[in-house]
Amino acid sequence: MSFTAVIVAAGSGSRSGGPKQWRRLGGRPVVRWSVETFLAAGADQVIVVIPEGQTDQAVQALVGLSSWRTVTGGAERAESVRRGLDEARPDLPVLVHDAARPLVTFDHIQALLAALTDAEAAAPALPVADTLKAADAGVVSRTIDRSGLWRAQTPQAFGAGVLQAAYAAWSASDNPTDDLAVVEGASGRVRLIAGDPRLMKLTYPEDFAMAEALISHHSITRIGTGFDVHAFGPGASVWLCGVEVAHDRGLVGHSDADCGLHALTDAILGALGEGDIGDHFPPSDPQWKGASSDRFLAHAAGLVAARGGHIVHVDVTLICERPKVKPHRQAMRERIAEILNLPLTSVSVKATTTEGLGFTGRQEGLAAQAVATLQTPT
């Protein structure tokens, strides 16, 4: 089923020590977790509602992803949702989700869309298990009956046009804490489905430690290796790890012959069990003639994201006598980090020689080997 996702990421994060949507969880910005999941689940639109003036942060957090756009949020959550809905297609169901609940899954989304067959709105919810107390200044005044009480989570799903119409009829003076309340106010039928403790909301600093623990118990580590060789030929520069390096010769290849990025692409594909670079970009296909190899690496990273995983660390070793790599090593690390949206500490580039032995020692060409470490859902 086609649908629109509105991801609310406009909060200031005052209780968590700063804007939590841009903080990293398991190596990825918090907001990226949700955007990747909704895109992988088939969202036609992903609308990310962000604080004013933070477009650059959003672009950096979501680099490499497509079919998303940002909207500036309001002072209150309800206003942020309204602004997101203004950009949503009215002919599609819409799922509204808090970016602060990053562990949403494909199964959550599918269950919510299925629940819309006999309701105008649906949301995951957990029964209240703890005893509830009302208190004033820490002194208990009464015990509240918890029977029939539920903790509503997000995403919350709404039939085509349902939430837009409900907000249009909602009193502007009231500030709902969730969007189900708006549909309830319009007498809409709301269904609760089974919630999931993993849909916890990141509110306080200690919540991040708990989320990290959840991730570690529901993921596996994958390691892949890659190796590539190109011969020297006519030219005045070579491309290595996304950086053009002046040299008295070039490298021969169907694309730009970037050994470092080719080896790294193969390492990521290998970790995923997705074949090699030639399977995805056949050298017999003329469209890849002279192509920039950052496209190949970005493609491999996109496959990781579509699997619901993330890249933890990459390590590239360039094997050649010349050109000298050390003066360009930092630029190479920065370029790879940019393509993969990784912190610089997660990218290693090294160089070595073969002490004059073999084809690299004779300066007939150069080689590269790479290792990539990923984490993906079990």
Q: Mind listing the pLDDT tens digit for each residue in 207-246? A: 999 998 888 766 789 999 999 999 999 999 999 999 999 9
Contact 126, 197 (CB under 8 A): yes
Q: For 18, left (φ over 0), alpha (ψ -120 to 50), or beta?
A: left
Whole-number Å distance between alpha carbons of 244 and 294:
12
Q: What is the pLDDT of residue 120?
A: 97
Q: What is the pLDDT of residue 144?
A: 94
The reported pTM is 0.65
Pick the CATH number of 219-377 from 3.40.1110.10, 3.50.50.60, 3.30.1330.50, 3.20.20.150: 3.30.1330.50
Q: Which of 317, 327, 262, 319 is nearest to 291 (CA)?
A: 262
Neighbours of 105 (CB within 10 A): 17
* Cα pseudo-dihedral 242, 245, 248, 254, rounded to 10: 10
Cis peptide preceding 124, ω within 30 of 0: no
Q: Which of 14, 7, 51 is nearest to 31 (CA)?
A: 7
CA distances from 313 to 267, 367, 378 (A): 11, 21, 19
Please state, rounded to an integer, the average pLDDT across all residues of the chain: 93
Q: Which of 54, 66, 51, 65 is nearest to 8 (CA)?
A: 51
Contact 268, 260 (CB under 8 A): no
- Structure tokens given for 277: 């670079």
Type of residue numbered 207 = D
Residues of the chain with pLDDT under 70: 13-18, 172, 217-218, 378
Type of residue numbered 74 = G
Q: Where in the chain is the domain with CATH 3.30.1330.50?
A: 219-377
Q: Does domain 4-217 have CATH number 3.40.720.10?
A: no
CA distances from 263 to 67, 225, 329 (A): 29, 8, 16
Task: Print the SS3 string covering the chain.
Answer: CCCEEEEECCCCCCCCCCCHHHCEECCEEHHHHHHHHHHHCCCCEEEEEECCCCHHHHHHHCCCCCCEEEEECCCCHHHHHHHHHHCCCCCCCEEEEECCCCCCCHHHHHHHHHHCCCCCEEEEEEECCCCEEEEECCEEEEEECCCCCEEECCCEEECCCHHHHHHHHCCCCCCCCCCHHHHHHCCCCEEEEECCHHHCCCCCHHHHHHHHHHHHHCEEEEEEEEEEEEEEECCCEEEECCEEEECCCEECCCCCCCHHHHHHHHHHHHHHCCCCHHHHCCCCCHHHCCCCCHHHHHHHHHHHHHCCCEEEEEEEEEECCCCCCHHHHHHHHHHHHHHHCCCHHHEEEEEECCCCCHHHHCCCEEEEEEEEEEEEEC
Whole-number Å distance between alpha carbons of 27 and 121:
33
Q: Where in the chain is the domain with CATH 3.90.550.10?
A: 4-217
- Structure tokens given for 35: 């955007």
Q: What is the pLDDT of residue 18?
A: 66
Number of residues written out for the chain: 378
